Structure 1
Amino acid sequence: MSERKLMSLDDMFGDSEVKGDTNSGVIEVEIDRLIPFLNHPFKLYEGERFDNMVRSIKELGIIVPVIVRKKGDNYEILSGHNRVNAAKVAGLNKVPVSIKENIDDEEAILIVTETNLMQRSFTDMLFSERAAALSEHHKALTSQGKRTDLLKEIETMLKADEMKVEETSRLLGEKLTSADETGRSFNLSGRTVSRYLRICHLIKELKDRLDIEEIPFFAAVELSYLKEDEQNIIEAILIENKFKIDLKKSQVLRDYSEKNKLDEETAHSILSGEINKKAKSNKPATIKLKPKLISKYFKPEVKQTEIEEIIDKALKLYFDSQGKEVLDE
């Protein structure tokens, strides 16, 4: 059975200008028939950025059509969630859409991620959004070429020069992995891509904490190795307490998880800092006698061992006179 032929980029994204001719592939659809993409991985605009979009739509309308695919009697948004939301606030009843036919779920999520990348630089995204985008690239490159042509077409439109993230050096001569291939599209090292792919294994609540920087990135990578129920335990503890997670704590949590020893009590002890806290020493504090005190009772030529013996005898006499027990004789 032959593979379905992939659409060209022009077929997929349509014209950037709205034309009255329905043969252009752009039509107007009631805004109430547009439904958001399921599990849309990107944060929607808010605040000043959203207000500016509403103002622009009131003045100029929607210039670039919303990209959709048919979903029953409605249309699922693939690109244009912010435009649709702004159009509702602006009071529009209909919006121009470009309907894409025969789009499977894998191609749909690829359109969602790529069009977001076209509009925003990689570094403008939240950590969870970067992870989602990189994950889709990685899947495309590892799906035995099914969508390679589509991916390459879309990637030519990305602003790769804006995607600057510090790279981790790799050994010379090391074979490129699929993570390396994905990273080349974003100017990232393979190891950095691999870390972002791990973020996709976090539960939503921990991703949200990462996005608002309550959890450091490298600590989040370590937490991604915990089982889902263990992550839920961590989240529940964090809700009830004001514990901070750092890389060291997350590494300890992962270590206990890999040994199947991570339960609620242990997790609480790790997050509170009780586990791995330095045990208090039973040794008495070191006491240094001031030279002035020593010179008051001993001549300079008296050796230290002799001074210690005399002090020991003097203290014993004192404790005996007070009826106190000497701890170690």
Structure 2
Amino acid sequence: MVENKKKRTETFASIFGDEPDDIVEESKDNTGTTMLNIDDLIPFENHPFKLYEGARLDDMVESIKNFGIIVPIVVRKKDDKYQILSGHNRANSAKIVGISEVPAIIKENLTEEEATLIVTETNLMQRSFADLLHSERATVIATRHNAMKKQGVRTDLLNEIEKLSKAPNTQDTLTSCPMGTKLDTKQEIGAEYNLSSRSVARYLRINKLSDQLKALVDEGKVAMRAGVDLSYLSNDNQEMIEAIISENTFKVDIKKAASLRIYDKNGQLTWDTAKAIISGEINKKEKKPKGIKIQPKIISKYFSPEEDKKDIESIIEKALELYFNKIKDVEVIIEEEEECEQI
């Protein structure tokens, strides 16, 4: 009996590193893909990207109806099913069309970090970063940041995905977290996605929110900067805040979030206190701060006698805002340094 030899070919799977030497038992065609029953597919756990809707979904359904699935989906074996890493929208459209089998590339021996990286990077190949929701951007940035600083992530996986996505300015070695390079990592990620290092730091904080609070950020019920403050709350208190917002259709701005963070840090955040802050009642009850007079010698040190009073007040207000924002940014940097040292 003549042995049936399988010839390895360059396929879409090559972007995820070399294919394993073991031949998967499912039947493959001569392109290296495997036909899988669509009922055997399951989504990636906590898939961070929303499926296509509206015209974009209609276009994909029509394309698959006319031409089939041209680019194979990418999966990994999960018990007796196959978990989708790349191709959730293709699989969803195929179900709508009524296709029973889809072409797939089966990946093996992936760590959770590598699997998540495939999910995020392949999604970015299909849609603009600017089109993503805040929670989706946070997932992309956090996944890339983690890959760039964490030991043991396969550099061949990162490099091959990077080449296909055609994203510039990726460093050659992405497996270390040396002291003194953490800011460079945020700057590099920021350059890739056209964001400032400060914005990258904020998205890293947004990724620490509960899924429910992330959804509220996407909906605009929690301001982006407010979400940064809420990310420092305990998991239980984040759950409580989400419940209060959803039950009462409240919105949370930066000022309310800062107050919640202070009460949480001091161990004083209860349901009643949180509700009073979010509803605005607590600010009404609080006494207004006493008026403070600035000594003339301090004024004369920074302003000329001809300076208008309103201009002076405006400059002082901007200086104070810059000062307190700087404090928050330093807190974010310190926490990220501590996290990196623990890896």
The question of whether the paired residues in 1 share the 8 Å contact of 2:221 and 2:250 is answered with: no
Post-superposition Cα deviations, 1:239-278, rounded to whole Å, max 9, x if no partner, equal: 2213221111111111111111111111011011122227
Work out which of the residue numbers 123, 143, 158 in structure 2 matches 1:136: 143
> How many aligned residue pairs are there?
259
Q: Using the TM superposition, name which of 173-182 and 221-230 deviates more.
A: 173-182
Structure 2 alignment gaps of length 5 or more: 1-11, 20-26, 169-179, 289-343
Answer yes or no: is the 8 Å Cα contact 1:141–1:148 preserved in 2: no
Q: Name the structure 2 match of 1:248.
A: 255
Deviation at 1:212, TM superposition (A): 1.4
Matched, 1:10 2:10: no
Deviations, residues 120-161 of structure 1 (Å, cap 9, x unaligned):
111110111111111110111111363334223322333548
Letter paired with 2:14:
D
Give the residue type in structure 2 aligned to 1:90.
Answer: V
Give the match for residue 27 of structure 1. Answer: 34
CA distance in 1, matches of 2:248, 2:207: 25
Q: Which residue of 2 aligns with 1:222?
A: 229
The whole-number CA distance in structure 2 between the counterparts of 1:83 and 1:114 is: 16
AA of the residue aligned to 1:104: T
* Distance in 1 between residues matched to 2:16 and 2:34, nearest whole Å: 15
2: CA distance, partners of 1:143 / 1:201: 17
Scaled by the length of structure 1, the TM-score of the pair is 0.72
Amino acid paired to 2:97: A
Q: Which residue of 1 aligns with 2:73?
A: 66
Are 1:126 and 2:133 counterparts?
yes
Distance 2:13 2:103 in 1: 19
How has the CA–CA distance of structure 1 residues 280 and 210 changed in structure 2, closer, same or farther, with 3 Å as cutoff? Answer: closer
**Partner of residue 189, structure 1:** 196
Q: State the alpha-carbon separation in 2 of the partners of residues 141 and 109 from structure 1.
A: 13
CA distance in 2, matches of 1:174, 1:81: 35
Provide the rounded CA distance (Å) in 2 between the counterparts of 1:188 and 1:210: 18
Q: 1:198 aligned to 2:205? A: yes
Query: Displacement of 1:9 after TM fit?
Result: 6.9
Secondary structure at the counterpart of residue 97 of structure 1: strand
User: 1:38/1:242 Cα in 2 relative to 1: closer, same or farther (>3 Å)?
Assistant: closer
Task: Report the AA paired with residue 68 of structure 1.
Answer: V
Letter in 2 for 1:178: T
User: Contact 2:113/2:153 (CA < 8 Å) preserved in 1?
Assistant: no
- Asked if structure 1 preserves the Cα contact closer than 8 Å seen for 2:77 and 2:106, the reply is yes
Say if 1:279 and 1:95 are closer, same or farther in 2 by CA, change over 3 A.
Answer: closer
1:167-316 alignment runs, 5 A limit: 176-277=183-284
- CA-to-partner distance for each residue in 1:12-65, whole Å, 9 max, x for gaps? 2899xxxx9724211211111111111111111122211221111111111111
Q: CA RMSD of the aligned region, Å?
A: 2.6
Matches within 5 A, 1:36-185: 36-144=43-151, 146-158=153-165, 160=167, 176-185=183-192
Partners of 1:121 and 1:159 within 8 A in 2: no
Call closer, same or farther: CA 1:174–1:133 in 2, change over 3 Å.
closer
Does the 8 Å CA contact 1:155/1:185 hold for their aligned counterparts?
A: no
* Structure 1 residues 11 and 221, CA gap change in structure 2 (3 angstroms): closer
Specify the structure having the higher radius of gyration (Cα). Answer: 1
When residues 13 and 53 of structure 1 are mapped into structure 2, their CA distance, relative to the original with a 3 A threshold, is farther
C-alpha change, 1:30 and 1:22, in structure 2 (3 Å) is same
Point out the structure with the larger helix share: 2
Structure 1 residues 12 and 280, CA gap change in structure 2 (3 angstroms): closer
Q: Secondary structure at the match of 2:243?
A: helix
Deviates more, 1:85-94 or 1:101-110: 101-110
Equivalents in 1 of 2:118, 2:79: separation in Å? 20
Mapped to 1, the partners of 2:223 and 2:101 lie a distance apart of 43
In the alignment, is the contact (CA less than 8 A) between 1:53 and 1:86 conserved in 2? yes
Indicate conservation of the 8 Å contact 1:140/1:148, yes or no: no
Q: Distance in 1 between matches of 2:125 and 2:270?
A: 43
Report the alpha carbon displacement of residue 214 of structure 1 after superposing the two structures with TM: 1.5
Secondary structure in 2 matching 1:275: helix
The worse-fitting range, judged by mean Cα deviation, of 238-247 and 207-216 is 238-247
Q: Matched residues, percent identical?
A: 54
Q: Is the 8 A contact 1:210 1:217 kept in 2?
A: yes
Pick closer, same or farther for the CA change 1:129–1:122 going to 2, 3 Å.
same
